[in-house]
Amino acid sequence: MSIQTSSAAVDHSIGPRRLRTLTFVLAAASGVSIANIFYSQPLLDLIARTFHVTDSGASIVVTVTQLGYAAGIIVLMPLGDLIENRALASRVLIVTAVASAVAGFATNLPLFLVFSAVLGFTSVVAQIVVPLAAHLAPVGQGGRYVGQVMSGLLLGIMLARSVSSFLADLWGWRSVYFVSAGLMLIMAVVLAVTLPRRRPDHTGSYGSLMMSIWHIIREEPALRRRAVMQALMFGTFSAFWTSVTYELIKEHHLSQTRIAVFALIGAAGAIAAPIAGRLGDRGLGGPATGVVFALAAVAMAVAGFGVHNLIVLALAGVLLDLAVQGNLVLSQQEIYALRPEARSRLNTVFIGSVFFGGAIGSALSGLLYERAGWSGVAILGVVLAIVGLGIWAASQMARRRLPAGRPL
């Protein structure tokens, strides 16, 4: 199934060279925005010491930031189907910059948590720009261009931990938030200058826009299925990366710089995004989804058994990142084809569910690590991945029983 383009939303005067430039800009904007959600993961030990809290208390930072992001997905992302996209993205980035700067100056944990939530809430720009790739792409090539933008987003997720650790080692953990604030301001200007204007087709009120989301959820079973599956996948991902920093410090005695190198290894998983996009364009999204869920389960099992070997643990991280990124692109490739005129609302449901699952995975990971150690986190990840694999298998069997041409 290929992503179809809404003719009313596309500027057909955009040539191949400019389309490549715009795709790069969208990928960069998505990457630097989403990085805000993950900067705190390798900093938890430093944050705990600064604010004099326990490891599990510091883990709340990750959960609050992801819940803020999920709230932003629900409240702000639908505006992509209502407000001119270039203005929306650049203005929200300015608010993100302010939130990041204030978080960097926070003198106590409650204040830091509040602005971490605001930072997550406004970092939704990372997802506001992804549907633009589908709108700008030539017909039948949506998976390819969405995959390229998602490569930027996923590199942002992967590199965020490395950048965060390096900066913390050089100038302290607060510098991470000050640097982020500067990047947000720069990207706001870049988007305002380079992006074409895109006025959405929806002409109703914000209230009617939000009400339409419930109709979409009820009428699109593929959206519901993909949202739940990716929530499980991202819960697995968050469980791993939330607790692995503690394990790297306590078991392997790594410094922040070495933790940064470890996190950088995981960035190799970004190669999955364009590959997954092309598989989806060729109609192979179904079987590829089963493969990535099986890969996630194997990755967490390897992480559990190989925790005492740093190379094995790194390999598990790469395999897990490949699985998460591959399934994310396959899922968006499928859901964007459902209703081209409502891609921001489709993304609202999908990504909101994903980060809700991620927040739960982070919270459970912190609790399990404190009570059962790394093996408890690994078991959690395996269970979540197997549940997702079961949902995929059930959907494949149901698809075979349906009459030809009827959607699942």
Determine the structural domain holding residue 318 and report its residue range: 13-401
Say if 235 falls within a structural domain.
Answer: yes
Which pLDDT band, with edges at 50, 70 and 90, does 402 fall under?
A: low
pLDDT tens-digit profile of 88-99?
A: 889 999 999 999
**How many angstroms separate the CA atoms of 85 and 194, rounded?**
12
pLDDT tier for residue 271 given thresholds of 50, 70 and 90: low
- Residues 241 and 41 sit within 8 Å (Cβ to Cβ): yes
Residue 306 clears pLDDT 70, i.e. is over it: yes
Average pLDDT, the chain: 82
Residue 204's contacts (CB-CB under 8 Å, 6 or more residues apart) are none
Residue 7 has pLDDT above 50, yes or no: no
Q: Would you state the pLDDT for residue 376?
A: 92
Which of the four pLDDT bands, split at 50, 70 and 90, describes residue 8?
Answer: very low
What is the model's pLDDT at position 203? Answer: 67
Q: Which helix (H) or strand (E) holds 141?
A: none
Q: Does the residue 7 lie in any domain?
A: no
Dihedral angle sign, alpha carbons of residues 171, 176, 178, 183: positive
pLDDT digits (tens, 9 = 90+) for 105-115: 998 999 999 99
- Is residue 9 scored above 60 in pLDDT? no
Residue 256 lies inside a defined structural domain of this protein: yes
pLDDT at 4: 41
Q: Measuring CA to CA, how many Å separate 153 from each of 67, 150, 252, 329?
A: 18, 5, 29, 11
Residue 282 lies in a domain: yes
CATH number for 118: 1.20.1250.20
State the Cα–Cα distance between residues 384 and 21, nearest whole angstrom: 38
User: Could you tell me the two tokens for 9?
Assistant: 């939303």
For residue 64, pLDDT beyond 70: yes
Taking only the tens place, the pLDDT of each residue in 157-168 is 778 888 898 899
Question: Average pLDDT for residues 225-234, to the nearest whole number?
Answer: 93
Residue 394 CB-density burial (10 A; 0-12 exposed, 13-18 middle, 19+ buried): exposed
- Band (pLDDT 50/70/90 cuts) for residue 169 is confident
Count of the separate structural domains present in the chain = 1
Residue 243 maps to a domain:
yes
Q: What is the mean pLDDT of residues 290-307?
A: 92
What's the pLDDT tens digit per position in 12-22? 456 767 777 88
Terminus-to-terminus CA distance in the chain, angstroms? 13
Residue 189 is predicted with a pLDDT of 94
Inside any domain, residue 1: no
Does the pLDDT at position 399 exceed 50? yes
What is the pLDDT at residue 180? Answer: 95
For the cut 80, the answer to whether the pLDDT of residue 284 exceeds it is no
Residue 231 pLDDT exceeds 90: yes
What is the pLDDT, as a whole number, of residue 400? 72
Residue of 3 and 330 predicted with greater confidence: 330
Q: Is the pLDDT of residue 6 over 60?
A: no
| Residue 127 clears pLDDT 80, i.e. is over it | no
